[in-house]
Amino acid sequence: MEDLNQTSSSPASGLPLAFHGTIIHSRSLVELEFLENCFILVDKSGKIQVLQTDVDPTQISAIISDHGYAPDVFPVKYLRRGEFLCPGFVDTHNHAPQWTQRGMGRGISLIDWLNNVTFAHEAKFADVEYAKRTYASCVDGFLQQGITTASYYGSYHGEATRILADVCYQKGQRALVGKCNMNRNAPDWYRDPSVSDSLRETRALIQHVRTLDPEGQLVQPVITPRFAISCESELLSGLGSIVQEHPDVPIQTHFNEEKEEINFTRELFPEFHLEADLYRNFGLLNERSILAHCIYLEEREMDMLQELRCGVAHCPISNTTMRDFMIAPIREYLRRGIKVGLGTDSGGGYSSSMLDAMKQAFIVSLAQKTHTNGRDEPLSLAEGFYLATMGGAQVCGLDDKIGSFAVGKEFDALEVHTIDLDRPGVMSLVEEEDSNFVIFEKFLMTGDDRNIARVYVRGRSVKV
């Protein structure tokens, strides 16, 4: 068999895979499912062909033969105790150009952070060679940590953003890639020269991605106004027109992130009291909208998000490490049936780890419980994991393909090892009496990328 870790221009390995052992995924928001002695077979297109529980190893050859494969040459990975498969993590909000500035600018306001830290870093992506090097490192870094799908903001540079799409495709990461639209309230040296330039580059990205990956097997374009502050009305209107031209293309933006940002938006758009009204007016709110942060929504905005089936990208690390400790009311969104996923907001957040995002989401939900005098219960372990997998898939419009394991779904998965590691880490030791649930909890709470032995996207092993 050829090395599954080799670089390939194809979004699938072309090789069938099979595993026997423990598989963990979400049955619902509140219920984890532990499938023990499970046999899973992934066909050469990267889709799950067989998912069968309570399989004795002696039965495997017959199952393989029944599905048209030769058992004597078919590779089966037998997972030992302390090893399991789970769905890949979905990062619903990520700034790829900020890969090199993670951890910088702690404790300052959003606007100051943009002006004093971020814009200068993102401006470097005018250099094509810099973009190639940095995006290669970025995508490798996220894959290493088990993020099989990411919704990326690029810089405002069209060429660099097309490079980001290329890198994701070549390295095998599932991705939504957007050229950042911004033609005001940024330095002259870091903004779109004009509305027409911004719209032209957006259309060029859509065309580029659809040429690169015509069926959208891995990479999709996403329309990406940075936020209303950075876009004139004419630009937002033009992006709304592109949404009408391409009704299947998702949309992402920052939404009700910080009080200073909200007040500035109202000064720029006095005809709109609510950001939801503003974005809806320009045709940028629908079931494909990914709204990052969502800290200070008013009642009518929550009603609108529920009605239009918009998704919330919850970014608990960046929300709590800038100037203020900002608490998104995630329990209320879940209570209303609003789609919610997790985002690392890497750049704004200090960590690019989805494991860290899950832990911080729990801390933020605990703060919300205190803030609401106990009305909003904190997120459970099962809920946090759901947001990192199936919830994120729903927000990105991919829940029919990924987020859990089922026959016909695509195999985006992590192979997790917690015992006898090649690269020992600092995860809590697994003891003889530990159940699979305890081992899983120890991984989520104390594990790191060293415990993620393999990462698969559409059946292709993609961790370097």
Give pLDDT tens digits for 69-82: 988 878 899 999 99
pLDDT of residue 243: 98
pLDDT of residue 111: 84
- Can you tell me the distance from the alpha carbon of 246 to that of 175, in angstroms, rounded to the nearest whole number? 18
pLDDT of residue 116: 85
Q: Using H for helix, E for strand and C for coil, what is the string for 89-156?
A: EEEEEEEHHHHHHCCCCCCCCHHHHHHHHHHHHHHHHHCHHHHHHHHHHHHHHHHHCCEEEEEEECCC
In CATH terms, 17-87+404-461 corresponds, of 2.40.160.40, 3.40.190.10, 1.20.1180.10, 2.30.40.10, to 2.30.40.10
pLDDT of residue 13: 54
- Can you tell me the distance from the alpha carbon of 117 to that of 111, in angstroms, rounded to the nearest whole number? 10
The ranges assigned to domains in the chain are 17-87+404-461, 89-396
163 with 131: CB under 8 angstroms? yes
150 DSSP β-pair partners: 91, 175
| Token representation of residue 287 | 């079931």
Residue for token pair 């860290």: 356
How buried is residue 382: exposed, middle or buried, by Cβ count under 10 Å (0-12/13-18/19+)? middle
Q: Are strands 17-28 and 31-42 parallel, antiparallel or unpaired?
A: antiparallel
Fold of 89-396: TIM Barrel (3.20.20)
Looking at residue 379, the DSSP 8-state letter turns out to be P
pLDDT of residue 134: 97
- Taking 50 as the pLDDT cut, the residues of the chain under it are 1-10
- Can you tell me the distance from the alpha carbon of 161 to that of 176, in angstroms, rounded to the nearest whole number? 11
- Can you tell me the distance from the alpha carbon of 249 to that of 308, in angstroms, rounded to the nearest whole number? 16
Please state whether the predicted TM-score (pTM) of the whole model is above 0.85.
yes
- Can you tell me the distance from the alpha carbon of 182 to that of 201, in angstroms, rounded to the nearest whole number? 12
Strand blocks (E) in 194-310: 219-221, 224-225, 251-255, 289-293
3-state helix vs strand vs coil in the chain, percent to 5: 40, 20, 40
Kindly report the length of the chain: 464
101 DSSP β-pair partners: none
414 DSSP β-pair partners: 86, 455
| Token representation of residue 153 | 């903001």
Tell me: the pLDDT tens digits for 112-135? Answer: 888 888 999 999 999 999 999 999
pLDDT of residue 459: 96
pLDDT of residue 5: 35
Provide the 3-class DSSP secondary structure of residue 215: coil
- Can you tell me the distance from the alpha carbon of 74 to that of 159, in angstroms, rounded to the nearest whole number? 43
Q: What percentage of the chain reaches a pLDDT higher than 70?
A: 97
